[in-house]
Amino acid sequence: MQNGYHEHSGPASPRRSGLPLAALLVLSAVLGGLVAVGIYTAFRAEPARAASPASSTALAKLADLQEGFTAVADAVRPAVVNINTEQEVEAPWTEFRFDPRSGNWRFYTPTQKRTSLGSGVITSSDGFIVTNAHVISGATTIKVTLSGGKSYPAHVVSVPQSLLNRDLAMIKIDGDKDLPAARFGNADKVKVGAWAIAIGSPFGFNETVTVGVISAIGRVLRGEEGREEYRDLIQTDASINPGNSGGPLVNLAGEVIGINQAIYSPSGGNVGIGFAIPINTATRDAVSSAMEKARGRRV
């Protein structure tokens, strides 16, 4: 060594490492390959975990639930009808007219036609339909449009006062003798949190299906001055809007457990608080009795 400099002998000294350079290069390549394989395996394992047996079971349950909803819709929608009514009401103004019968001029209140829209559910193959009493109240003409698009005139069927007090009414169409009819269930067995499916014609959109749950039971609707109007109602968050009145609220078995009646809404549209009249054993018996009496009178 001279002038403080060391003699340079190359990149590595065989004496210090104890391994030849070629062996070091091979070992580095092997270690690098193992690391790469480990990283690839770790990332590739993610899809396998996503398709684990537990996830497959959950997806299968969701598929079964979806199939249940579609099966109910397919079964019940053909039995749900659109109801259009017309009635003559007095106009909110008066006119001064000459009366040719009396030969005098007098004030006259003209009449005008008012139309309304609602829903109903077929309860027998020969054309009996349950709806809300307020849907057909005061109507001079009633037109029913079926799921397939056919329209028929309808007439009002006499029902017990107990049904009218519950805002339930019945109408009848004549013509087809093999109509699809919905099955009535028992609302007394309904539990809060159970699935609920509403079907009807909100804003005239026929056969609209909405899904929610039973939010509460035994609700009371109050009218002016806090007076009780209707008791023991089913509350649901299934979307109900104007035009849904008279349509069915059904369970996952496809049974009618209620007739949609009203909504609570500051805006006039759905806010997730709707009410249906429960269909229980007493109501079902009253409906059956009214149909039998109507059939007997027409014989």
Residues identified as active-site: 134, 167, 245
Beta-ladder partners of 2? 5
* CA-based nearest residue to 287, from 147, 176, 121, 144: 121
Contact status, residue 93 vs residue 133, Cβ threshold 8 Å: no
CA distances from 98 to 80, 103, 108, 109 (A): 49, 7, 9, 13
Max Cα separation, the chain?
146
Which residues contact residue 120 at a Cβ distance below 8 angstroms, ignoring those fewer than 6 apart? Answer: 80, 81, 83, 129, 130, 131, 135, 144, 171, 246, 247
C-alpha to C-alpha distances, 101 to 98, 105, 106, nearest whole angstrom? 9, 10, 11
Which pairing describes strands 183-184 and 255-263: parallel, antiparallel, or unpaired? parallel
Phi and psi, residue 66, nearest 5°: -60, -40
